[in-house]
Structure 1
Amino acid sequence: MNILVTGGAGFIGRWVVKKLVYDGHTVTVFDNLSNGRIDNIQEFAEVKFVKGNINNKEDLDGLFKEKYDIIYHLAASINVQDSIDNPEKTFLNDTVGTFNILERAKKQMFGKKGRMNGASWILGSDEETCPCKVVFMSTCMVYDICDDAGISEIHPVKPISPYGGSKIAAENMVLSYYNTYKLPTVVIRPFNTYGPFQKTGGEGGVIAIFIKNSILGEPINIYGTGEQTRDFLYVEDCADFVVQAGYNSDVNGEIINAGTGRDISINELSKLVSKNKVPINHIKHIHPQSEILKLKCDCSKAKRIMGWKPKYSLESGLIRTEKWIKNLEYELV
């Protein structure tokens, strides 16, 4: 298959690309490198890289001269704190950018001249069309706080940041294109993902930052009380879930979670990573209103429909992540 991965030079995108290449597909990565790094995909010589922006018409015109069987749409502004400080950027990238991808996919599948007659499509006789599926990467940060039962896909949503609000708006557009136009789409909500190739600097993930500080003998800083919990998903498990969501037609029109079903407090995580080697400090939270106090995934739907379940425990994922980070030159990340 010919596959497009937007945001494919990012952390999760890199692992999705690796899985797709391993499966023998032709892959194009589209990324503006605002958050991703070309180094993430340099080992995949067979991958075509196109630098561009999902909100730039000319960039998209050039990109969609090709036809794609699956579009994995991962490109987004993903920093919760940044979304509070600059909500317009997050909305444009996460919501409007997603709309732009949906429109291009719709035109590829049904043509520029195609129109609906009732629930059926009438296609232009002189247009070349190609079936297409869109896999939309959303986030667990759309959910409300949960109890020990965990969060299923019918759990209430409660956007407490413009990031969460923008993702919910984009989700609704993605599902509307499935329900209205019969464009195959799926919304995926992976929980907090970590692992090799995640940034270890200020914009990195909490696990990557904690491990780096522990290795360098630097204090671990926790925003707030540290009592907030997260369900941490190892990146290879996440990438396998993302890719399988594109392959599986049974998930079309659905929202699907991915996580481990185990949550851990940030305080407990810091102790697990630090092994009593470095001090652990609590510092003032920049935007405490954006903090969801408990996130724990119920991924039974993914298991039931896709046959997916995580392979890596938190402990085994931490070992693999630490091994990778120990080989980094920290000034580059």
Structure 2
Amino acid sequence: MNIILTGGAGFIGRWVLKRLLNDGHNICILDDLSNGSEENIAEFRNHAGLQEFVKGDIKDEELLKELFQANRFDICYHLGASINVQDSIDDPRTTFNNDTVGTFYVMEQCRKHQVKVVFMSTCMVYDRCTDDSGITELHPTKPASPYAGAKIAAENMVLSYYYAYNLPVVVIRPFNTYGPFQKTGGEGGVVAIFVRNKLAGKDLHIYGEGTQTRDLLYVEDCARFVVEAGYSDRVNGHIVNAGLGRDISVNDLAKLVVGDEARIKHVEHIHPQSEIQKLLCNYSKAKELLAWEPSVSLEEGIKLTEEWIRTSYLM
């Protein structure tokens, strides 16, 4: 198939690209490199399936129009977005324009050219989990940050195209994804930051009390979920979760990564209002509709991430 992948040079986008190329598709990447980098996709540069890499903005309507006219796309995997919760609180305009307005422009082209859309949303749209059965797709949403608000708005826009125009779309909500190629600095994920600090001999800093829990999904499991959602008609018009189905407190995660509790320090939370106390995924719908379930345990995933960070940053 001919596929457009927005955000394809980002952390998750890079793994989605790898899987799509392995499956034999022709890929056009559109990425403005605000979150991604060309280094993430350097190894695929000469791959016959990577048709072109376009450095550009999803808010550039003329560029989108040209790309969709020039290529007969079968699927649009729309991963391009502003993704930082804290940044969205400090600068809501940028997040809204990228995540909601940008998504509208993408949807318009997909409508005109009848292209299926896989829209990458987030578990951050949910209210806290209240029990150990986990968060299903019917769980209440609570936009505790402008990032979550922008994603919920975009989700509704995407689903409206299914109902109004019969366009095949699916909204996917992966839980906290981690693994190789994730940023290890301030904008990175908690696992990548903890591992980098451990290897660099630094302390691990935890916002607040550290009792908040996360459901951590290894990136290759996430990419497999993203790709399969595009292949299946069974999920059209649906919202679908993906996660490990196990949550861990940030305190316990830090202990799992570093071992030495003396190296774990608690610091004041920058934006405590955006914190979700308990995140635990119930992925039974993905299992039923896509036959998807995670295959990499948290311990195994941390080990793989640590190996990558050690060779990438410290050799």
TM-score (norm 1): 0.91
Work out the CA distance in 2 between the residues paired with 1:80 and 1:259: 19
* 1:260 Cα offset (Å): 1.0
The match for 1:88 is 93
The match for 2:63 is 59
Work out the CA distance in 1 between the residues paired with 2:174 and 2:86: 19
Which one of 71, 82, 107 corresponds to residue 76 of structure 2? 71
Q: What root-mean-square deviation, in Å, do the aligned CA atoms of Structure 1 and Structure 2 show? A: 1.1
* Secondary structure at 2:278 match in 1: coil
The match for 1:24 is 24
Q: Alignment identity in percent?
A: 63
Is contact 1:220–1:278 with CA below 8 Å preserved after alignment?
no
Q: Which residue identity lines up with residue 22 of structure 2 in the other structure?
A: Y
* Secondary structure at 2:311 match in 1: coil
1:107 and 2:112 correspond: yes
Which one of 216, 235, 238 corresponds to residue 254 of structure 1? 238
Q: Deviations over 1:170-216 (max 9, x none)?
A: 00011000011001000000000000000001111100000000011
* 1:66 Cα offset (Å): 1.4
* 1:57 Cα offset (Å): 1.9
Is contact 1:258–1:302 with CA below 8 Å preserved after alignment?
yes
* Secondary structure at 1:212 match in 2: helix
Work out the CA distance in 1 between the residues paired with 2:261 and 2:24: 44
Q: How does 1:124-203 map to 2 (within 5 A)?
A: 132-146=115-129, 147-203=131-187
Q: Which residue identity lines up with residue 322 of structure 1 in the other structure?
A: E
Which one of 301, 306, 310 corresponds to residue 317 of structure 1? 301
Number of matched residues? 309
Is contact 2:255–2:261 with CA below 8 Å preserved after alignment?
no
Once the two structures are overlaid, the 10-residue window that deviates more, 275-284 or 71-80, is 275-284
Extract structure 1 runs of 4+ deviating beyond 4 A. none
Which stretches in structure 2 are left out of the alignment for 5+ residues? none
Q: Which residue identity lines up with residue 93 of structure 2 in the other structure?
A: E
* Secondary structure at 1:242 match in 2: helix
Q: Deviations over 1:271-319 (max 9, x none)?
A: 0000117611100000000000000000000001110000001001011
Is contact 2:206–2:266 with CA below 8 Å preserved after alignment?
yes
Is contact 2:162–2:237 with CA below 8 Å preserved after alignment?
yes
Is contact 2:11–2:181 with CA below 8 Å preserved after alignment?
yes
Which stretches in structure 1 are left out of the alignment for 5+ residues? 110-131
TM-score (norm 2): 0.96
* Secondary structure at 2:192 match in 1: helix
Work out the CA distance in 2 between the residues paired with 1:278 and 1:218: 11
